[in-house]
Amino acid sequence: MLQSKFIRIALILLFLTGIGIFADEGMDWIGSFSSGELEMSDETEDQDTVYYLWQLESLKKNIAPRYIRYLDVESYVSSGNLMHRGILFTYNGLRDESVEICGSFNNWECAEMKRNQYGIYYTVIEPNQIKENYEDDPVYEYKFRVNGLLTYDPENFDKVEDGSGSYYSRFVLESKDTDRQTKTMVLEDSENEERDLRTVKFQIYLPHAEVVRVVGNFNDWNPEHDFLKKDRKGVFTLEKKLLPGEYHYQFIVDGETMLDTYNPITNIKIDTNESVSSLLVPERNYALERKM
């Protein structure tokens, strides 16, 4: 218990220092949180705006939905995930016993919201809603279920008739911020899945790079085969079909070889004695659904 407490304290100090919480503007948060600070007028990407879980727990009034980034130090030890991103939804339920949120992002199945000490219910929804063609779906439709009765969000002026004499609320996500810790991963699903192959998404955040390629034992370490595509936020990506197994790889960034930044698993390439990143592609443990 004591060791865990020290770990949490160290993490708090490390990240508060790293993002400047000890600066003058940062100290304004201590003991004097106002929910008005979350009412950002500009919803475009801001890589430097980071909130904390305790700020959500200190909201004194409900606010219109918005995309936020926040740190949850307490859950880091168990989950390994410190930075969280998502759409913040709130509801003033001081006199209500239960408030849930139901929306297009959870197939209209209602999910419980957390209640803070001031009676504000809140939840943060991960912005992973996609369309049938696997493109991001920016339109999030929702209702609150308050003590068993559905209602729209009184703080959100964007509402649409639901065909039954009432409304559902709507939030349009204009953009998500860049996940600088983006890493290579095996996708659970993609637009074109194959029975015996898995889809691996190679990705890395390199905003100042011009050309990024990936080489590995899946392409005989040939630098002319697999080029990654750069998006406007500086993230390079490439989706590749691979058989289950263990793979070793490196990125070639503007001619310089480097490891996958956020993949902690490495190995040694025997013939050159170089360090390489390693990725295990597991067997598929579920049946593919037939796509129309």
CATH homologous superfamily for 47-178?
Immunoglobulins (2.60.40.10)
pLDDT on residue 144: 97
More confident residue, 290 or 68: 68
Quick check: 216 pLDDT over 50? yes
Determine which of 25-39, 102-116, 212-226 has the lowest per-residue pLDDT on average.
25-39
Selected from 2.40.110.10, 3.30.365.10, 3.30.43.10, 2.60.40.10, the CATH number assigned to the domain covering 182-281 reads 2.60.40.10
3 state SS of 217: coil
Opening angle at CA 113, ends 112 and 115, nearest 5 = 130
Helix locations, the chain, DSSP H: 2-18, 24-27, 53-56, 76-79
Determine which of 45-59, 62-76, 80-94, 107-121 has the lowest per-residue pLDDT on average.
45-59
Q: Where in the chain is the domain with CATH 2.60.40.10?
A: 47-178, 182-281
Pick from 56, 153, 160, 150: which is nearest to 109 by CA?
150
Question: Which residues neighbour 50 within 8 Å (Cβ) at sequence distance 6 or greater?
Answer: 19, 69, 70, 71, 83
| pTM, two decimal places | 0.55
